[in-house]
């Protein structure tokens, strides 16, 4: 049986990064090939599409969204329904420049224990 995978999407509207957390007391690791560099307003649509494909491929079981309220709202309306159902938590805060260690500290209540 495969272990549960939680992904964390950190977006600020201009860029997005995606991390994987594979269990309690584990560090966040970047998900290779996921995320959007600083590209402007189309960021949320592009990241939603990436998350939708990854959800369809069952690459993660749970999803945590991090970003300003407007970005979170846009992601929620752009993502497919099955991807939205995988969202287990949200943090309304711009942490786009935070390191994986800093993110873990901010997300301790939302990540698997």
Side-by-side strand order, sheet with 6-11: 29-30, 16-21, 6-11, 62-67, 87-92
> How many whole angstroms separate alpha carbon 21 and alpha carbon 72?
20
Across 5-99, the runs of DSSP E, i.e. the strands, are 6-11, 16-21, 29-30, 62-67, 87-92
pLDDT for 39 equals: 60
In order along the chain (113 residues), what is the average pLDDT of each group of 10 residues?
78 89 79 75 84 95 94 93 95 91 84 67
Contact at 8 Å (CB) between 10 and 89? no
User: What pairs with residue 17 in β-bridges?
Assistant: 10
Distance CA 84, CA 25 (A): 25
pLDDT of the residue at 1: 39
**Model pLDDT, residue 24:** 63
pLDDT of residue 40: 59
Whole-model pTM above 0.85? yes
Radius of gyration of the chain (CA): 13
């Amino acid at each position: 049986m495969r272990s549960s995978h939680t992904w964390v999407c950190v977006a600020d509207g201009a860029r997005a990064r995606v991390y994987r957390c594979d269990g309690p007391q584990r560090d966040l690791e970047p998900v290779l090939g996921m995320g959007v560099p600083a590209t402007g307003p189309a960021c949320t649509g592009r990241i939603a599409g990436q998350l939708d494909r990854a959800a369809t491929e069952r690459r993660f079981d749970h999803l945590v969204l991090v970003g300003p309220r407007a970005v979170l709202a846009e992601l929620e309306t752009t993502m497919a329904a099955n991807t939205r159902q995988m969202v287990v938590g949200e943090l309304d805060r711009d942490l786009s420049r935070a390191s994986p260690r800093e993110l873990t500290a901010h997300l301790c209540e939302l990540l698997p224990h």
